[in-house]
Amino acid sequence: MKIVMAIIKPFKLEEVRDALTGIGVHGLTVTEVKGYGRQKGHTEIYRGAEYAVSFLPKLKIEVAVSADQVSKVVEAITASAKTGQIGDGKIFVLPIEHAVRIRTGETDADAL
C-alpha cells in the first residue's frame, strides 16, 4: 500500500480528479497549501505598488492505493496536472504501514 501525494496548481484539480476517476481511483483527500519551489514565488502589483509573493497557493492531493496501482496513478496525475510551465508541482510516493476503515474495521488493502 502506498500514499501518492501530489502538489499541483489549484486550477488543475478537476482535470486530475477526472483522470483518477477514469482509472478507478474513487477516493482522495485535497488540502489547500502554500509553498514554493525553484521559482521562489513571484511579484505582483497591487494599487501601483509591487509586492513579493513568496508562498504560492497550491493544492495537495493524497491518494491511498495498492502498490500495483502506483504507476498508473502517477501517470494520470502527471498527464492531467502538467501545463509545461514552471510551478506545475511534484509527486511523492510514500509507504503505508497500516490502514483501518473506521466504520467497518477492515484493515490494510481491504480498507482502501
Report pLDDT digits (tens) over 69-98.
Answer: 999 999 999 999 999 988 899 999 999 999
Does residue 38 register a pLDDT over 80?
A: no
**Alpha-carbon span 36 to 62, nearest angstrom:** 19
19: containing domain: 2-111
Residue 74 belongs to domain with CATH number: 3.30.70.120
CB contact at 8 A, 81 and 15: yes
CA 38: distance to chain centroid?
Answer: 18
Q: How many Å apart are CA 92 and CA 36, to the nearest integer?
A: 16
pLDDT digits (tens, 9 = 90+) for 58-69: 999 999 999 999
| Phi, psi (deg, nearest 5) at residue 20 | -70, -40
Is residue 35's pLDDT more than 90? no
As a whole-number percent, the residues of the chain with pLDDT over 70 amount to 90
Query: How many structural domains are present in the chain?
Result: 1
Q: Which residues of 91-109 are buried (b: 16+ CB within 10 A; e: fewer)?
A: beeeebeeeeeeeeeeeee
pTM: 0.84
